[in-house]
Amino acid sequence: MRIYIDENFITDNSNECEKNCYFLKIFANEKFSDDALKNGAKIINVDECKKILAIDEGIKIIGITGTNGKTTTAALIYQTLLNLGFSCGLCGTRGAFINGKRVDEKSLTTSPILKTLEYLSLATRQKCEFFVMEISSHAIAQNRIQGLKFAAKIFTNLSQDHLDYHKTMDEYARVKNSFLADESVKIINIDDEFVKFNTKNSITYSLKKQADITAKNVDFTNAIHAILKTQKGEFELKSNLQGEFNLYNLMAAVGVILALSDKKLDEISVAIANFSGVSGRVEVVSKDPLVIVDFAHTPDGILKILNALRHLSLVVVFGAGGDRDRTKRPKMGAIAQKYARLCVVTSDNPRSENPDEIIAEILSGMSKENVIVNSDRYEAIRLGLNNLRPNEALVILGKGDEDYQEINGVKHPFSDKNVVLELLKG
């Protein structure tokens, strides 16, 4: 990519280099720096790039890592900071936003460093005080956050995912934990069995152990209501979010805002209560019948949302992504079947794989009772709706707010939410 500055530009692609342009030399492209030099480029590092772009080093960058909860926690922190009167930027799975306006479309969870620097340049011009980032394990392993100085880091949780890339849970955990090894402020979920972190400047949160942030008088009957005990006192927490997993996300958000700002507990309580949720994350797309769409695509993610909705009788539509960790597929099937009255197993994003073979691997973890199979996701959602009994909820998992379905390298327009609304209207 290129960032244009006056009549010049910065690139991270040696093939784009020409006389007097800037080539950002990073971990991923350093072997091409000689080619960039031959093409007449000036070689710069991340710190030099920041100076050229006049990026404000005073912006407090908040990095969030974990298997589940990154997107919701990032949006929660971003919106709460805005509600508190701060200027703030955000980048992650849903795209990039600055002070309430979208500045880029959806892309990787964590962008290449030059794209992130472009966001920080925009945030500087908009006088942002904070910038919130989702940090994926791939980005840590590939050093895509090279040269960034984090004011705070958050760890949400770790469960099985991305083993197609990391191969083992031990390696996946090692990569995630490497992000937490420095002395920056860290907000850590210590209920997670895999987390290891540098305790210096750490703030812990827990629902099960002694920690800096804990909760009491917890009520999930109507959304979330609890009393949070924090390092600065207790306050009443009310949120429209659902489930225990979102209480964890709320605790992480409170922890980082308390650590990096001077806002009082009553101000944070009001600001955080006004967060309505994230599109495609436990999103109610219809109330009659009750239909919920969620991005959960790991065994732990599915467990958390279905457990949070266990007070309801459920019909669950789900599949599994192709070209990803195959070992999680039967586990996903077993968990869905445990909580659902009826499972409709379908296709997710099969990518280059045969959808029927993915479904067969899901079914290997399930009994044959109360299971319908249809590889056409549209028809599967129709079946889910048609099989709903009075007062039941339909839960559609795996794609959240994605607006496509990837089949054999082609992204076809597809939205779970739009399909539901179309079928209900019809």
Cα–Cα separations (whole angstroms), residue 211 to 77, 191, 215, 235, 253: 20, 10, 10, 16, 15
Q: Which residues are annotated as a binding site?
A: 14, 66-72, 109-110, 136, 142, 144, 324, 348-351, 398, 402
Q: DSSP alpha helices (H): ranges in 200-290?
A: 244-260, 265-273
Q: How far is Cα 236 from Cα 268, in angstroms, rounded to an integer?
A: 10
- Which helix (H) or strand (E) element contains residue 11? strand 8-11
Q: Which residues are annotated as a binding site for ATP?
A: 66-72
| Pairing mode of beta strands 290-294, 393-397 | parallel
Q: Which residues are annotated as a binding site for meso-2,6-diaminopimelate?
A: 324, 348-351, 398, 402
* Token digits of residue 380: 């599967």
In this structure, which amino acid lies at residue 114? L
> Is the backbone peptide bond immediately before 299 cis, with ω within 30 degrees of 0?
no
| Pairing mode of beta strands 88-92, 95-98 | antiparallel
Q: How far is Cα 70 from Cα 232, in angstroms, rounded to an integer?
A: 25
Q: How would you list the strands of the sheet with 224-230, edge to edge?
A: 214-219, 224-230, 233-239
> Is the backbone peptide bond immediately before 289 cis, with ω within 30 degrees of 0?
yes
- CB atoms under 10 Å from CB of 198, counted, come to 15
| SS3 at position 162 | coil
Q: Which candidate, 156, 257, 247, places its Cα nearest to that of 207?
A: 247
- Name the E strands within 241-370: 283-287, 290-294, 314-318, 342-345
